[in-house]
Amino acid sequence: MAIKTNKGISMDGKRVMTMEEFKLWLKKFDTDKDGRISKEELRSAIYETGGRFGRWKSWRGIRSADTDGSGFIDESEISNLVDFADKYLGVRVLHM
């Protein structure tokens, strides 16, 4: 488990969030407010965290998290993004 500092950053430089905080953070990228995260919206999250290769990473994130094949990540699939967030978004989600 990551050690959370007082500024919400782990020792390895990743932003540390609870699952609820992660869901709220992702929702700010839901620009059309449809309750789902599209590939383009995920790309915005990637770019905000300083990530590169946003097009490829967003495609990979949708592909790994979208269990129903809709092309979007809905509320029930957000937990599938935890590994993706750790690897590509610099976000560590704590399971509490």
The pLDDT tens digits of the residues spanning 47-82 come to: 887 777 778 888 988 999 999 999 999 989 988 988
Round to whole Å and give the CA distance between 26 and 66.
15
Residue 15: per-residue pLDDT:
85
Instruction: Quote the pTM value.
Output: 0.76
Calpha distance 76→10 (Å, rounded): 27
How far CA 69 is from CA of 6, 27, 66, 73, 74, in Å, comes to 39, 20, 6, 9, 11
Q: How confident is the model at residue 30 (pLDDT cuts 50, 70, 90)?
A: very high
**Triad 8, 64, 70: Cα angle to 5°:** 115
Give the C-alpha separation, 17 to 66, whole Å: 22
Residue 1: pLDDT above 60?
A: no
What digits encode the pLDDT tens for the residues 76-95? 998 898 888 888 888 889 87
CATH code matching the domain that covers 15-94, chosen among 1.10.238.10, 3.30.420.40, 3.40.91.50, 2.60.120.620 = 1.10.238.10
In the predicted model, what is the mean pLDDT of residues 18-38?
92
For residue 12, what pLDDT is reported? 72
Q: From CA 16, how far away is CA 20, in angstroms rounded?
A: 12
Structure tokens at 92: 């560590």
